[in-house]
Structure 1
């Protein structure tokens, strides 16, 4: 009796001689099933779909084969509800190359498989027909078009021995004129391995023209060619497609933009944009900028990743600090404090030393601090102390001042000629905690919704400060006004801001939003996707993807763009010092004169007070 539900069975040792071995010798076609299971499929976990209409001898023989298998397996009744069965199974059983799926049938098995969910898509599917009527039309059914390796084994009568059936092996080649072909008659020697049994059905696409759901607004990945007529693309994706087309023999046709002008998201129960065209089977696949997400993988087949990138944020560079501050930029505040404390300590020590001398050298604090200050300004010392130990102390102070003033002078030259900028915002946390808002063009990407529902507090804070605009101009202008950070895919963001809007005083934040692996999305259960996976892996491993991204980006930004951007804020052309550069010097002079006036006023008041006391 067949199982009406899924059963995982572990192999237990059974004594030989059970099942069909006690019956009459079966026909050679049925014996070939044993050869397949004990030969190329030996040791493989399997899912067996058994037809309840199988004749009793066939069923007994199959049951005997299953009892003797040395690997775990699953039994499924083809008379059961395929939809209910597939909903209860783990993804690892329904799809992929973890198990071989074997269908043993007498009558048409399509009703069961037409009801299973889209998640059912095994890599290896073998049909074993126990019928006397050919069933090779199964290989062309849309229900099984997503199977990568497909095989049908059925009774075949050779002309040389018409009375003796043999097992003919058939498969389909969707891109060839003769779609169903025989790969031979079952033989243990000819089909010794699983690869011999399940042949590659997609060695070549035979010049097939794929229809791609694309948008020519994806620099540097895909855009309108600058040198070719309207409708011809250029970019990284074109290089990838051309490289694989030469090997796999296919053509492709782009879509310049999706009808709804949306990128691709799941909205109101359906997919929009380029993903919508693929999901509705209007297009074969899309090659634009899409990262791998769980929601998309459930609805589409994602290729292997070819690059990793996120959404970048561009901002205006903050204006340079006032140039009059350049006089004290040479040292940090801590260094300035250390110099002041050191000067006070030396002043106290020298004053004490002078007081201990029989004949004071300087004659009090009022004469000592100008004496010490001369070394700070690289002025010569008019005379030295008479005591040798005091000379050593003054000499060490002079050497200390020489090193400090030399370091200050060297740094002062740089700070007087090169603008000094305040610290830039570089991380998501800094942006979220700042007063800046964020802007983005609303073209159907997942980012706005993801930010607002994020569990990360800083991402969620950006979502609350996000302003969406219906046009690029509307979303970029707030950034150019210095009130917003602009969000867009990183590479596109750089090209858009620096080329289209010529915002040379802008920069990209170091941290990216939602960095992810870029991929191509195909229709769900695309049987030939693995051919593109192999091609993409070879391009990635050879370094061609990284090379093309660099070249295509430089087509817009120029060569060595990143190095030039780094040098832009560090170096300037040689130029003469202007009054603007020396503002700090005049500021110090003014402050010194103001201090002198205050000291003079204090001395005048003190002198008048002394005169009044004498009178």
Structure 2
């Protein structure tokens, strides 16, 4: 049957008293015509089937004199309504409501209808705003909605358009059908000046007063037409001829597949390498600012497809200025990506995602371990442990097998130390006297094979590990960062959106990140502090890579900083749009096509590669100047040249030699100062024994 959405009884009774005193009200009419309920400030929503509507006496209400034949023209328009647009929200000022409902019921099968009437009064604006809030909830409950607005009052239509825009009642996927009877200049002004009528999917039906018979014109406003913004009479309806189309445009035409070369202002904030600008001198001598970067490449490709020009670049001192340009509709698009954050989605729209949210951080590269440890690196820890175990097991086994077959005189001279020296000597390339016993020969042969493999592998890798630095493990994500004591540096540009998000997050890791954070006024200064203090600097990945290429890369191509692998914000990033942007789906289609072709990734690599090439050329020029002036001496060759081994490479070998010399000296002193067992035995044999008395 019919359902109503109304306020609590107490509130309804209080507001009913205001209605009797002449204040504004909402009027809901049951379609049976049997009763009418007055609930001020309350939206009454009705859902009716076509069969119920046809059987209702209210459908047969007499046609008002204000808009004769409006039910027929509405029926002709609604006859082409797609299935997803069979839900209707009807706004009227109390005139012609029954006629609109009759047209809907006679034309559309199984419609869902929400009727909202607004009476003028002292609380007119509050009433309209409250109604639109209820209507938006109804609109969000359906896949597609057609909003029908019927009024002959210019002020009513203007107020509705402004409040519907502020209340986000309609988006492009919904349709707005305005039925009125105004002078030509009045409705043309509405179509041109009000966002709801000019930019969204809106048609206006206006009765022509200058015609002898009944005639209605159907108008649509094209903000980016062939000759600029223009309101076009798409069709004419008369009782005799019905609907006659005057242009190639259908009802509710598409407005944003072709901008006809119109210039669209954009909101930018210099953000390398996504958005960069430079001063260029034209052939005629004039200077102008040229925009370039990955964001401009994507926008130029979209502009070529949709046939628009990149207009004025609205300046922004900080990131918030750019967002304000979009928020207040000075620019409808900002071709710079921004992470999809919940609090921004309440006030803005986003395009289809450009890439993952790449907010991350950079740090100073870990310091190299001492070079003498390179003697240890060619073999793994388990291999070294296995070698040490073999140096215990093999000599002991060799000693037992060999000594058990020796003669008595030889057994006294053969010791475990002698067996260990022979086994250890094979690792250093010394010869090994083969035993005569078969069992011992098998053991020695096996050990020689093992010693050959281990020695070859070690010597083969030793040169590489002497010349190539081995870095310790690096921080590669937020979890690794929080396990250190490093502080976090942010640019003030990130304070509004990201720092606040981290601070108010439910994640303990994000909260701890915010607690460690302090701010730096400039990006380069923050990165310099991060390098000197071993802290982390947070910003966008491409920007950090570019800053490292420009400012923290040496002549040989090595860098003192690195960008970690993981991102801080899970999810994606996209371009910022004005809320309910009418050509969002056109932008999304282009961006999706670029992703399918791999163009966005390619453009990112190309822009970064070009900047890397420029920075390399600048470094080479600086290097040539300093070498020509004799200010500095070459401290090495380029990364592509062969590098001779230096003292720093071989310090491990020299360190081992020094340790060996010290141990040798200590053993020598011990032998000289302490008596050996053999000398003690000889002295004992040479001493005469005492004679018995």
TM-score bracket, normalised by the shorter chain, equals 0.7 to 0.9
Task: Please give the alpha-carbon distance, in whole angstroms, between the structure 1 residues aligned to 2:313 and 2:152.
Answer: 46
Cross-structure match for 2:265:
211
Query: Is 1:497–2:545 an aligned residue pair?
Result: no
Q: Is the 8 A contact 1:224 1:233 kept in 2?
A: yes
Please list, as runs of the form range in 1=range in 2, the aligned pairs for 1:222-301 lying within 5 A after superposition: 222-225=275-278, 227=280, 229-255=287-313, 257-258=315-316, 261-264=317-320, 273-301=321-349
Task: Please give the alpha-carbon distance, in whole angstroms, between the structure 2 residues aligned to 1:60 and 1:442.
Answer: 56
Structure 2 regions of 5+ residues with no counterpart? 1-27, 31-41, 282-286, 617-638, 688-693
Of 431, 436, 440, 2:481 maps to 431
Change (3 A) 1:421 1:42: closer
Query: Is 1:408–2:461 an aligned residue pair?
Result: no
Residue 276 of structure 1 and its aligned partner are, at CA, apart by 1.8
Paired residues, number: 587
Query: Is 1:542–2:597 an aligned residue pair?
Result: yes
Of 142, 146, 149, 1:103 maps to 149
Task: Please give the alpha-carbon distance, in whole angstroms, between the structure 2 residues aligned to 1:178 and 1:498.
Answer: 46
Of 131, 152, 156, 2:204 maps to 152
Q: Is the 8 A contact 2:395 2:423 kept in 1?
A: yes
Please list, as runs of the form range in 1=range in 2, the aligned pairs for 1:252-401 lying within 5 A after superposition: 252-255=310-313, 257-258=315-316, 261-264=317-320, 273-357=321-405, 359=407, 363-381=414-432, 383-401=433-451
CA displacement, residues 59-81 of structure 1 (integer Å, 9 cap, x when unaligned): 66247449x73254433334482
Query: Is 1:140–2:181 an aligned residue pair?
Result: no
Residue 113 of structure 1 and its aligned partner are, at CA, apart by 4.4
Cross-structure match for 1:120:
169
Report the TM-score when normalising by structure 1: 0.84
Please list, as runs of the form range in 1=range in 2, the aligned pairs for 1:450-529 lying within 5 A after superposition: 450-502=501-553, 504-514=559-569, 516-529=571-584
Q: Is the 8 A contact 1:311 1:512 kept in 2?
A: yes
Partner of 1:581, secondary structure, is helix
Task: Please give the alpha-carbon distance, in whole angstroms, between the structure 1 residues aligned to 2:445 and 2:569.
Answer: 61
Q: CA RMSD in A?
A: 3.6
Partner of 1:151, secondary structure, is strand
Cross-structure match for 1:48:
89
Change (3 A) 1:74 1:346: farther
Residue 344 of structure 1 and its aligned partner are, at CA, apart by 0.7
Change (3 A) 1:148 1:98: same
Report the TM-score when normalising by structure 2: 0.75
Residue 484 of structure 1 and its aligned partner are, at CA, apart by 1.9
CA displacement, residues 1-51 of structure 1 (integer Å, 9 cap, x when unaligned): 537525373758649655477688997541343344344344534232142
Please list, as runs of the form range in 1=range in 2, the aligned pairs for 1:163-178 lying within 5 A after superposition: 163=213, 165-176=214-225, 177=228
Cross-structure match for 2:35:
none
Of 273, 295, 303, 1:220 maps to 273
Structure 1 regions of 5+ residues with no counterpart? 265-272, 562-570
Greater C-alpha radius of gyration: 2
Partner of 1:74, secondary structure, is strand
Task: Please give the alpha-carbon distance, in whole angstroms, between the structure 2 residues aligned to 1:178 and 1:263.
Answer: 31
Point out which structure has higher relative CO (alpha carbons under 8 A, 6+ apart): 1
Task: Please give the alpha-carbon distance, in whole angstroms, between the structure 2 residues aligned to 1:125 and 1:146.
Answer: 13
Q: Is the 8 A contact 2:546 2:612 kept in 1?
A: yes
